[in-house]
Amino acid sequence: MISEQIKELFTTGDCHSRPAIVGRDGVVTYDQLLRDAETLARNRNDLKGKMLAVTTTRLREYLTALLALERMGASTVIASDASVKGLIDGEQPEIDVSEVWDEVTVRAVVDEAPPAPCTTTCFPKPNEAIDAAPGEVVLFTSGTSGPPKPAVHTWPSLSATARADEPFRHRRWLLSYHPGKFAGLQVIAQSLLSGGTLVVPDDQSPTAIANAITTHEVEFASGTPTFWRMVLGAMDDAEFRTTVLRQITLGGEPVNQITLDALKEAFPGTRISHIYASTEMGVCFSVSDGREGFPLVWTKNAESLPCELQIAEDGELLIRSKNSMQGYLDKRIDRQNWFASGDLVEIQGDRVVFAGRKSDTINVGGMKVQPLAVEAVVRTIVGVVDVRAFGIKSSMTGQLVAVEVQPDSAVDSKALRAEIMRQCREKLAKHAVPAMIQFAEQIAATSAGKLSRTGQT
């Protein structure tokens, strides 16, 4: 049990008073966290074996509830943005989970600090109510490729990659991912199971994140490539030199060589890796050789990986994973079958490089455009801090390509617009050239830290 592992970790030494969380709301020690979890599990033993949804908006109570429910052997629903909103910065939910399901009854909800009583709520779903088994955990996919889906995991599958050996023990981990998402749970599990400290920024602004990294001496930090480009833009050379970062990890989106090289230049003594993982398949692999994509040989021999990889005829990456979900709440999967990831890849020499999401493809009069290809051209232009490409509706062609650009404050926007068009016309097919260019102070991203592929967010 995770809660027992954590308890054992701190009862064998003098680390009970070690901080489990530091940040906006002060310091929470392991002693406080474990005591609260044990109190909740003991006082609400009547909920054992039931299906419970965690809906608190306070990080301390959120972690308390997760540890208590795991200890009780209950089936746990982490109800994503609609109910875990505000854990970091009080953001409004993008998705109302009640619209995702039509008739599933969640029999009790942990929504207050222990030992307050639980209330009852309903999440509807067609047909009959479907429960997760005791010890299973339901969390929602990000919804970037359609409505969020309730994926069923177990605590072992969610914590499979957590390491507690000496290089990772008692370290400080930045919590930049949404705590109710798969990536956020990975960071939480890693920190708790290694006796680490979760560092929570005051908010998700670039300044607050940079301040958290330096002030709290963060040693391990994970985030999307979009997140890291934002951090690079917020920190100056002096701040780069004062960090004690041991490792930077990128995940959640494809990472390009430009971003990897920029991070290496800014943090020359830091190990930089990019990870491929998903809510459905868990953590599949990590790459730390400084190159985008992953080795082609992994599609033929993956003995060292927790997953098997295969490329379909249309370029979609197929996966079989040891750390995969049990299935969706209303449909369990056969782990022997290949899972269609939705990610398109291309073989470039000895490398497999990500081309984008199938669902992000822009269809311009029957011609397909991948946003990543457009962004790769625009991002190299002097004066461009960051960029995202997306499709806009067209009565003539169905869709057209548009880009949102974050310019350097010192550049002339008119000249930059002209240069973007010149280079796109020179390097892209005619149908992939942006029909619209808009400038923004910061690139639009989802609550998961990924580039938004819609026109406005």
The model's pLDDT over 327-337, given as tens digits with 9 standing for 90+, comes to 987 788 888 89
Give the model's pLDDT for residue 7.
59
Domains of the chain: 2-158 (3.40.50.12780), 201-358 (3.40.50.12780), 361-439 (3.30.300.30)
CB within 8 A of 81, min separation 6: which ones? 93, 94, 95, 97, 140, 178, 180, 447
Q: How far out from the chain centre does Cα 373 lie?
A: 22
**Is the distance from CB of 173 to CB of 186 less than 8 angstroms?**
no
Give the model's pLDDT for residue 167.
86
DSSP state of 383: T
Segments in the chain below pLDDT 50: 80-130, 457
Question: How many whole angstroms separate alpha carbon 225 and alpha carbon 247?
Answer: 14
Residue whose pair of structure tokens reads 């455009």 in the numeric block: 369
Per-residue pLDDT tens over the stretch 379-396: 999 999 999 999 999 999
Give the model's pLDDT for residue 240.
83
Question: How many whole angstroms separate alpha carbon 453 and alpha carbon 142?
Answer: 13
Give the model's pLDDT for residue 236.
82
Give the model's pLDDT for residue 74.
76
The sheet with strand 436-439 has its strands ordered as: 384-394, 398-407, 436-439
Q: What H or E segment, with its residue span, contains residue 199? A: strand 197-200
Per-residue pLDDT tens over the stretch 135-194: 888 888 876 666 678 889 988 889 888 988 888 989 999 999 888 889 999 999 999 999
Question: How many whole angstroms separate alpha carbon 216 and alpha carbon 201?
Answer: 10
Question: How many whole angstroms separate alpha carbon 5 and alpha carbon 162?
Answer: 12
Residue whose pair of structure tokens reads 């822009």 in the numeric block: 362
